[in-house]
Structure formats: structure tokens, C-alpha cells
Structure 1
Amino acid sequence: MQTNFTAEQLADPGVARANEILRSCVHCGFCTATCPSYQVLGDELDSPRGRIYLIKDMLEAGRPADAKTVKHIDRCLSCLACMSTCPSGVHYMHLIDHARAHVEKTYKRPLFDRLLRWTLAKIVPYPGRFRLAMLGAKIAKPFARLLPDARLRAMISMAPKEIPPVSRNDDPQTFPAMGERRYRVALQIGCAQRALNTDINDATIRLLRRLGCDVVIPKNLGCCGALTHHMGREGESHDQAARNIRAYLGEGELDAIVINTSGCGTTVKDYGHMFRNDPMAVEAAKVSGLTCDISEFLQRIGLPEGAPKDLRVAYHAACSLQHGQQVKTAPKDLLKRVGFTVVEPADSHLCCGSAGTYNLLQPEISAELKRRKIATLEAKVPQVIAAGNIGCMIQIGSGTGVPVVHTVELLDWATGGPKPRALADLP
């Protein structure tokens, strides 16, 4: 794609990177075949190719974002299926992230939109605040249909039936390896995940310890910055990321930084890019280089075979894992290795509609994607659905009677850990 940025514009590192990405696009349109929002809406401007044109025009003109451009950028899930499909290697993630930051700086949203986004940014990344918000939503749930805005109704409807008690395993500490120590790893404990499902970190810690890992929960560890980053709030996301970089490196030598919520993993692996022009560039790149998904790490160090389980597991591939991190086979291979029968739904490359806060900010599109995803999963007649991201688990679990658990919970169970609570009713 031909671009026409001035030398002055290209002096901005963000614009320079956008220019590189734009020039790598050849207009082929392969991305439209795998874009979930285009599949639902059928509008070229709601495809990666269409958004690329809008972003190019906005950035080249050096103008503030307008309502039309913002509408179509907001409808992007950042599922990154287009990056898996693109034959030209267009790094759409960096482009859409830069566009969102430009929108945040130059576009004045309607007051209610601003308040809604501010509220999400100030609540979801903080487990204590998020717990209180979920309690309020749980109380308000019977009255959700009376609310005038679909986004508010979506927020209330997502309140879980049960809010788990705080897990002290998430406090800063080191869990020693069982037996001989082979590795020393840090665990990213998440933020929303700590409030929604404490079993995931508990299972991860148990499994890693049995495999000879000292598991470190670093001091001063907080949100990775993914949520605010994808809302274009660069200042907040970089502050959160910088705090985590210092927290990780303050723990001394680590063999890996293990992450069990793939939305966080995609962002932490990108810290090197986010801080490329920052005094913390070297430290950020080191953290990114150490980071791996729990499934990647288990495959690397070797997982013993488990006691065979007569259980049919439908594996849902989280977009942030299969597209954002290009981790496609490790979770399935591990589940098979420990004895589960693994099936995959049709169109497994398509998003479930969760996508961070997307199901709260774009509830209609999200609901249609959820309906399609659940239909393809249930068509496989599974006894359980496994996923590697808490957002997907909540999204899918809210629309199906099939138990939904994290992949690591099944791996922990099959290799000596307790049966996941979500599977208590299964034989």
C-alpha cells in the first residue's frame, strides 16, 4: 500500500511504525474471510482491510478521529485472526493499538461513553474494586431488563452466580518445588481472573510445584495493562506495565514468567515493542523474552502422562493464544497426553465475542459471536469445554450448560491434583 506521510510525521515513532505496517498491506482481502465482525456485519469497513484504509486516511491527514472512523475501530475485537491469515505479514495489532491511542487523544466521545470507559478502566484491573462491582451487579441482576442501555444490561448480566473468596495463594510469596528444584518461575496472577476464578492460579501452582518449579508471586504485581492498552489509554497501560516489569525483575533470576490467561500473555510478550523508545526498553524486552503461556512452558519442560480419563473435552482456542501468541497445538497436545479425548469445533479460528471488554462495549455483536461459538462447541457433544483464557470461559459459560474449565485445571487433575470443582457432577 502506498503511503504519503511527511518527514515530520514520520519523526513520531508511532506513525513511523504505522507507516511500515500500512506499506506491507497488498489489499488482498484474505483477512475478510476470518474477521468475526465482518462475518456478522458484512460491512467492508468492519473488516481489517476496511479499517486499514480508515486508519491510513486518518493518520496521513494528521486529523482528529471522526465518528465514522471511531465506530468501525471500536467494532474491532482485536482477535488478530487477520494476522494468522495475512500472507504479507501485516502486523495489524500494532496498527490498531496505535489507532486506538490516536482516537483516545483526539476524539471526544459522548459523555456516557466516556464515563463507561473510565469506569471499566478504574474497576476491572483492580480485583478488590471488581469484586465490589460484581456484588453490586449481582444485586441489580433482577432489574437489568429495566436499564435503558444495552451495555449496562450486558454488564449486569455478566455477574457470576458465585463470587469466590479471596485466595491467599495470590499474595506475594514463593511456593517451593516439591522434590528437586528444576526451575524458578514467576506467575502472572491476573486481575479480573483473581476475582472471577481463583481455582486457575491454584491449579497452576500445584502443577508447577509437582514438576519441580519454585513458583514466585512477585511483590507489587498488578494488572499487565492489557485492558487499558486496548482502550487506547496509553499512559495508564504503560504505567501498569512498567510496575510489572520492575516487579518481575525485582525477584532476581527467573527461568520463565508463566501466564495462564492468554489475553495478558499477548500484551506482556509485546512489552518490548511498547517500551522500544523508553528508558526501560532493555528491561521490557527481557520480560517479554521470559514470558510464556502455561501450555508453552509445560510442553517445554515435559508433562508426564496422566491416568486416562474417560472424558470428551471440546477445546476452545482463545484468540489471544492462537492468533496473538501463535500457540496453536500445545494445549491440545497436552490434554491428549494426559488421557483426555479432545475435539475441536468448526471454525475454531473465530472469536467467541469476549475480547476483553468487547462483550460489555459491543454487546449485540458479541452476543451473536457467542451464539455461534457455543453452537459449534455443543455440536461436538462434549462433557466439558476447556479454554486458556478467563474471558472466554466466562463468555462461553454464560450461554451453555456444559462445564467450562481452564486447560490447566484438567492437566492438574490428570497428573495428581484434585478434580475441578466445575466438574463435581460428572462421574
Structure 2
Amino acid sequence: MQTTLSDQARQLPRAAEAERILRSCVHCGFCNATCPTYQLLGDELDGPRGRIYLIKQVLEGQTATVKTQQHLDRCLSCRNCETTCPSGVDYHNLLDIGRALVDATVPRPLGQRLLRQGLRALVPNPQLFKALVNSGERLRPLLPQALQGKLPRRVQVAEARPGNAHARQVLLLEGCVQPGLSPNTNAATARVLDRLGIGIRPVPQAGCCGAVDYHLDAQEVGLDRARRNIDAWWPLLENGAEAIVQTASGCGAFVKDYAHLLAHDPRYAAKAERVSAMARDLVQVLGDEPLEQLGVHGEQRLAFHCPCTLQHAQKLGGAVEAVLVRLGFNLTAVPDSHLCCGSAGTYSLTQPELARQLRDNKLSALESGHPDVIVTANIGCQTHLDGAGRTPVRHWIELVDGALPHQPPAPRRTP
């Protein structure tokens, strides 16, 4: 795509990157065929090609408007278009550049500002978030229906984590909202890894991956969180930890992007590159292990929802399904499995109407094979889909953990 950046745009730190991405687009339109918002709205400006044109116009000096901002806001950042694009357009990075530029020049209404600031204050704070979830559970009958749908129908209590010592050690990104919404997910992960001879090293200094801030008008704050995590993980990586494991694919996608986002930071570029290389979604860890020794015999009928951050961002589509089949679970077919469920981080809160339509469409596809339960790999998708009150939705590792054969207690040592 022919483009000429304005003098002002050429001063931006990522100007060269933006120009390169724009020039790689041949405006073929294949991306629109798999864009969830284009399918719903039928508006060229609510598809990737139209949004690229909008960003191009702003970078070439045209004034951004509220409408420009609205069309960019409606993008789910699902990256389905990247999977489809024959030219390899790096759309999500162009979108990040464009959103930052537009948000710097187009003030948001007070309500939007308060919502986004509130989410940035709440979501990355696990203790505060968990306290509010617990309060919401107690007050559920008094809450509006829309808010009730954001609370988990049933919080799976976290069972005990094993305390066995293992030579193999990994780090686990605990997450922000997952400990409050689905506390048993990470505990189940610890138990399954323990059976495979892998221990988890606690890293209390590590916190939010930074994605929430980065995608809610605070990119520098998000990058600062990334730097703090790198500092927290670095000594343990140097001391032999073999991976940084994520059970939420949204967090994993962002951690794997640290290398790109911090490539021009002289203090952190090299460390970020190593951290991203060592970041592993849980399925990548299990996929390389002798799962047959677990003795799992899954009998439930499952539908797997593959999150966009797993299949389009991390390019791990089919990986969880392969692990579940190896373990004996019966997977149902899911039509249009490439389409987004509408969760997309905080999208279900900032764009509730579109998110609800996408959720209902996704659930109809997932339920078409009449599964006993729906499983997924991202806490945002899990909560969003389960909030409809239909087929139960859980993290896939909990089903694996639940199917583990009972392990007798270790024999007592005699003096």
C-alpha cells in the first residue's frame, strides 16, 4: 500500500514500523472474511482493511475523529485477520500504534475514561479483584442481571498444591483475575505438573503481565509492568528454571511479545528476548511430556473453545485438542472455531453489545455437538462464555486434573 507519513508522524518512535506494515498491505480484503466485527456489522471501517485505511490517514496527517476512535475501539485484537492474510500484515502492532496516536488526540467522554481507569486499577490487582468477586458473590441476588453475568456461576475451590521437590523447575505466571474467578486452575496445573516430575517455583514479585494497561490507553504503564516481571523472573531463569508457564493464553501472548515491544530499550531488549523465548503456554509444556504415564482416562464429552490468543497470536491452534485426545477425552466438532467469542480481555466490558452477540454465536457453535462441558485455555473466555448460564465452561487443565487416578500418600519413613 502506497503511503507517505506526515512530518509529525515521522517523529513517532515506531514510525518506521508503521510505514513498513502499511506498505505490506495489498488491500485484498481477505481479512474481512474472517473478521468478527465485519461479519456482524457489515461496515468496511469495522474490518481490518478499513481500520488500516483509517490509521494510514491519521499517519498521513488527517485529523482523527471520534468516529475514527470508535472504529478502532471495536476491533477485538483477535488477530484472526493475521492468520488469514496472504501478505503477512502485522496488523496488531499497527493497531497498537494507531490507537495510541488517536487516543492522544481524541479525548474520551468522562464515562469511558472512568471505566478504563477503573479497569486498570482493579484488574491488575489480584487481592482487590478477589475481594470484590467474593463480595459480589454474597450480594449476587441484589445485583443487576448484567453484572451477575460477569461473576462466575460457581467458583471451583482451589485444592491443595503438592509440596514435592523436583529437579525440574518452572515459573508460573499466576495471573490477575484468575485467582479470584477460577482459583483451582493454577492449583490443578501444579498437581498435573507434579505427576510429571515438574515443580513450580513461586515468584511473588511478579505481577500483571501488562496487557490490561497496554490495551487501555496506557502503553507505557504496561511496558513498565513487563520490565518489573523481567526483573522478578531473571534471577530464577539464570538459576535454572526451564520455562515461564502461563495458563491464561491472553497473558502468554503478551509475554511472548515482550521481545518485540522492548526491542529498542537498551536495558531490557536482550532480557526481554530471552524471557519471550522461555515463555510457554501450558499446553506446550504438557505436549512434550510422556502423558501416558499419567494414567488419565477422560470419559467426558468436551467441546474445546480455542481462544484467539492461543490460535492466532501464539499459533497453537489444535495443540490442546491433541493433548486431550491423547488423554482419551471425546471432543466434539466445533463449527467456525476460528471466530472470537467476544471476550477479548476487557472488550466484553467496553463493548458489551457486540461482545454479547459474539458470545451467543460462539456458544451455539460450541453446543452443536452436545458436550457435557466446554473447556478453554483463557480465563477471560471462560468467564465470558460461562456468564451466559448455559453449558458449564472450565479450564481444560481442571478436567485433566480431575481425571487423574488417585495417588496414594507417600509411605512414612521409619526411624
TM norm structure 2: 0.91
Give the deviation of 1:8 after TM superposition: 6.6
Superposed counterparts of 1:158-307, under 5 Å: 158-162=150-154, 176-177=164-165, 181=167, 183-251=168-236, 252-278=239-265, 279-304=267-292, 306-307=295-296
2:410 is aligned to: none
What does the per-residue CA deviation read over 1:240-298, in whole Å, with 9 as the maximum and x for residues that have no partner?
11111111112233211111100000000000011111121111111000001000111
Give the deviation of 1:11 after TM superposition: 4.9
Unmatched 5+ residue regions in structure 1?
A: 146-152, 419-427
Identity of aligned residues (%): 43
1:34 is aligned to: 34
Q: Secondary structure at the match of 1:61?
A: coil
Q: Secondary structure at the match of 2:357?
A: helix
What does the per-residue CA deviation read over 1:332-371, in whole Å, with 9 as the maximum and x for residues that have no partner?
0100001101123100000111111100110100110011
Contact 1:262 1:320 in 2 (8 A): yes
2:412 is aligned to: none
1:52 is aligned to: 52
Q: Single out whichever of 125-134 and 69-78 deviates more from structure 2.
A: 125-134
Contact 1:104 1:233 in 2 (8 A): no
2:413 is aligned to: none
2:360 is aligned to: 371
Contact 1:98 1:232 in 2 (8 A): no
Distance 1:328 1:394, change over 3 A: same
What does the per-residue CA deviation read over 1:304-340, in whole Å, with 9 as the maximum and x for residues that have no partner?
2644332211111111100010001210010000110
Distance 1:106 1:137 in 2: 37
Distance 1:176 1:272 in 2: 33
Distance 2:65 2:2 in 1: 23
Distance 1:407 1:283, change over 3 A: same
Give the deviation of 1:62 after TM superposition: 6.9
- Read off the aligned partner of 1:213 and give its amino acid letter: I
Contact 2:9 2:61 in 1 (8 A): no
1:150 is aligned to: none
Distance 2:383 2:297 in 1: 27
What does the per-residue CA deviation read over 1:158-180, in whole Å, with 9 as the maximum and x for residues that have no partner?
123456778896xxxx95445xx
Distance 2:348 2:308 in 1: 14
Distance 1:243 1:67 in 2: 34
Give the deviation of 1:97 after TM superposition: 1.5
Give the deviation of 1:157 after TM superposition: 3.4
Distance 1:11 1:142, change over 3 A: same
TM norm structure 1: 0.89
Q: Single out whichever of 401-410 and 375-384 deviates more from structure 2.
A: 401-410
Distance 2:71 2:136 in 1: 29
Contact 2:153 2:386 in 1 (8 A): no
1:125 is aligned to: 124
Contact 2:255 2:279 in 1 (8 A): yes
- RMSD, aligned CA: 2.2
- Read off the aligned partner of 1:289 and give its amino acid letter: A
Contact 1:307 1:338 in 2 (8 A): yes
1:423 is aligned to: none
2:149 is aligned to: 157
Give the deviation of 1:96 after TM superposition: 1.2
Unmatched 5+ residue regions in structure 2?
A: 408-415
Distance 1:232 1:417 in 2: 48
Contact 1:374 1:396 in 2 (8 A): yes
Contact 1:275 1:281 in 2 (8 A): yes
Contact 1:103 1:232 in 2 (8 A): no
Contact 1:27 1:49 in 2 (8 A): yes
- Read off the aligned partner of 2:367 and give its amino acid letter: E
Contact 1:46 1:75 in 2 (8 A): yes
Distance 1:248 1:277 in 2: 20
- Read off the aligned partner of 1:315 and give its amino acid letter: F
Q: Secondary structure at the match of 1:37?
A: helix
Give the deviation of 1:106 after TM superposition: 2.4
Give the deviation of 1:120 after TM superposition: 0.5
Distance 1:167 1:380, change over 3 A: closer
Q: Single out whichever of 99-108 and 24-33 deviates more from structure 2.
A: 99-108
Give the deviation of 1:302 after TM superposition: 3.4
Establish whether residue 25 from structure 1 lines up as the match of residue 12 from structure 2: no
Establish whether residue 335 from structure 1 lines up as the match of residue 320 from structure 2: no
Distance 1:389 1:244, change over 3 A: same
Give the deviation of 1:402 after TM superposition: 2.1
1:5 is aligned to: 5
Q: Single out whichever of 342-351 and 249-258 deviates more from structure 2.
A: 249-258
Distance 1:60 1:136, change over 3 A: farther
- Read off the aligned partner of 1:239 and give its amino acid letter: D
Distance 1:226 1:341 in 2: 34
Contact 1:207 1:417 in 2 (8 A): no
Distance 2:12 2:246 in 1: 32
Q: Single out whichever of 287-296 and 132-141 deviates more from structure 2.
A: 132-141
Distance 1:262 1:101, change over 3 A: same
Distance 1:61 1:157 in 2: 43
Contact 1:203 1:417 in 2 (8 A): no
Give the deviation of 1:399 after TM superposition: 1.6
Distance 1:286 1:87, change over 3 A: same
What does the per-residue CA deviation read over 1:362-406, in whole Å, with 9 as the maximum and x for residues that have no partner?
010011001101111111100111100111111111124322221
- Read off the aligned partner of 1:277 and give its amino acid letter: H
Distance 1:235 1:166, change over 3 A: farther
